[in-house]
Amino acid sequence: MIKLVRIDHRLIHGQVALTWTNAIGADCILVANDEILNDPIQKTTLKLAAPHNVKVVIKSIQDSIDAINSGKTDKYKLFVVTKTISDAKRLANGVEQIKSVNIGSVKETSGSSALTHTIFVTEEERAELKGMVSEGIEVFAQQVPTDKAIDLKKSL
């Protein structure tokens, strides 16, 4: 069962590993990203960053879609973390049960503009977010569980 889907360019770090995982009661973090698979050092670092009692699985976007849709992940209280808006959109397009996406942090890049103080998007990313919203997916910003969730529909 998917507890939360979050976009955070940092992937697993303090807010994800401790604060969010505890708040949603997750027992498995699925990192869905194609690039991480080819970086053994980052994979090891991500696994070490998670609490010892939380399973960490790192898969490509397509493998994540396949695993979720097959039911293999149903036994977990799953916290899905993607690195980019594009990754989250692909995942949401492939997994019908994803109805909302939390955005924690998207780093500033050349050509990006601020949606919030921690979320910077390019025009292409803005279009991807608008696409998710038009498909009925709730897109909201929330750094930590104690912060008020901000519906980003109007900001797009």
Residues recognised as catalytic: 13
Both tokens of 97, joined, read 């049960």
In angstroms, the CA 103 to CA 126 distance is: 13
The C-alpha R_g of the chain, in whole angstroms, comes to 14
Strands across the sheet with 78-82, in order? 55-59, 28-32, 78-82, 2-8, 100-105, 138-141, 150-151
Helix, coil or strand: residue 38: helix
